[in-house]
Amino acid sequence: MAAEQTTTQVQPAKPQAEKQTNCLACNKPIRKLKRYYRDGKFYCNKKCWKTFIAKSKEEAQK
Ligand SMILES: [Zn+2]
């Protein structure tokens, strides 16, 4: 019985997305019409922006 050979396609790691498409707070894809722009980053809305700010502050304090 011959060993099965499976050809697995090794895909190179995708480069970091040049355009930010996901919210930094909840990681949901951001729609064009619904987005909140702050400090060069995109978020779903103001709430997500605040969430992200709070998160980063929390991490900075640790
Ligand atoms: Zn969000």
Question: Are the CB atoms for 41 and 20 separated by under 8 Å?
Answer: yes
Distance from the CA of 36 to the center of ligand 1, in angstroms? 9
Lowest mean pLDDT among 8-12, 35-39, 43-47, 55-59: 8-12
Tokens of 62: 């640790």
**Cα(2) to centroid(ligand 1), Å:** 51
Between the CA of 28 and the centroid of ligand 1 the distance, in Å, is: 6
**DSSP assigned state of 47:** H
pTM attached to this predicted model? 0.61
5 or 40, greater pLDDT = 40
Q: How many A from CA of 1 to the centre of ligand 1?
A: 53
Tens of pLDDT, residue by residue over 10-40, are 777 766 556 888 999 999 988 877 789 998 9
| Residues near 29 by beta carbon (within 8 Å), at least 6 away in sequence | 21, 22, 23
Check whether 59 has a pLDDT greater than 90: yes
Handedness of CA 32, 33, 36, 38 (dihedral sign): positive
Q: How far is 48 from 57, CA to CA, in rounded Å?
A: 14
